[in-house]
């Protein structure tokens, strides 16, 4: 999958067990930004695994 830098960081944070609010504070971004990046990750994953 081709991920943006922001998506990679959000994914890494999720894999470390962080939640939305923790990730937002860690990255110094809005929670909505984290939510949007997570949704993009989900879309890309589903597109890559769809048959």
CATH code (residue 11): 1.10.10
Residues 6+ apart with CB under 8 A from 14: 23, 38
Mean pLDDT over 26-50 rounds to 94
Q: Where are the beta strands (DSSP E) in the chain?
A: none
**Per-residue pLDDT at 50:** 84
pLDDT band at 51, cuts 50/70/90? low
Q: Which domain holds residue 21?
A: 5-49
In whole angstroms, give the CA distance from residue 44 to residue 40: 6
The number of distinct structural domains making up the chain is 1
Neighbours of 8 (CB within 10 A): 13
Q: What is the pLDDT of residues 3-29, one digit of tens each?
A: 999 999 999 999 999 999 999 999 999
In whole angstroms, give the CA distance from residue 48 to residue 33: 23
Structure letter (DSSP) for residue 16? T
In whole angstroms, give the CA distance from residue 20 to residue 35: 7
**Per-residue pLDDT at 4:** 95
């Amino acid at each position: 999958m081709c991920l943006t830098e922001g998506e990679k960081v959000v994914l890494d944070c999720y894999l470390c067990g962080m939640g939305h609010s923790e990730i937002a504070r860690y990255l110094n971004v809005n929670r909505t930004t984290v939510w949007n990046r997570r949704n993009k990750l989900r879309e890309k994953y589903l597109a890559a695994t769809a048959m």
